[in-house]
Structure 1
Amino acid sequence: MDIKVLGTGCSSCQTLERRVREAVEQTGSDASVEKIEDMQQIMQYDVMSMPALVVDDEVEVTGQTPSVKELTDLLGA
């Protein structure tokens, strides 16, 4: 599983990245997690609000920071 957290570095973006990493750890997944802050790369996903979460090249979450439990559910734990 390939997970990308899109955001410019704001506190919400940092929170989402931290929660995603925690959810991946809790599920025991071997998913890769990447934080993308470059606006050119972010624009490729057609995201209008951040933070955003992309799983296997599909935008799953925009403009919010789901809880760790919501993320583990989303990631299929």
Structure 2
Amino acid sequence: MEIKVCGPGCASCEQAQKIVEAVVNSKGVDATIVKVTDFQEMAQLGIFSTPAVVVDGEVKCVGRAPNQAEVEEWIS
């Protein structure tokens, strides 16, 4: 599983990454977490607002940090 956390590094983006990492670690999921800061790459994914989370190529959340329950649902 590949999870991309997209954003330039603002507080909300950092929060999104921390939540994703915490859920992946607590669930023991075999996932690679990639931080995407390149705006061209984000645009290619159809993301024009950050933070955003992409799981296996599917955009799951845009413009806000997800909550723990959402991330758990996405990776189950």
Asked if these proteins are the same fold (TM beyond 0.5), I'd say yes
Which residue of structure 2 aligns with residue 61 of structure 1?
61
Structure 2 residue runs of 5 or longer lacking an equivalent are: none
Q: After TM superposition, which residue ranges in structure 1, 4 or more long, deviate above 6 angstroms? A: none
What number of residue pairs does the alignment pair up?
76
Coordinate RMSD, CA, aligned? 0.9
- Post-superposition shift, 1:10? 0.6
Q: 2:4 is paired with a residue of what secondary structure? A: strand
Structure 1 residue runs of 5 or longer lacking an equivalent are: none
Which residue of structure 1 aligns with residue 19 of structure 2?
19
Whole-Å separation in 1 of the counterparts to 2:66 and 2:39: 22
Which residue of structure 2 aligns with residue 38 of structure 1?
38
- Normalised TM-score (structure 2): 0.92
Whole-Å separation in 2 of the counterparts to 1:66 and 1:3: 13
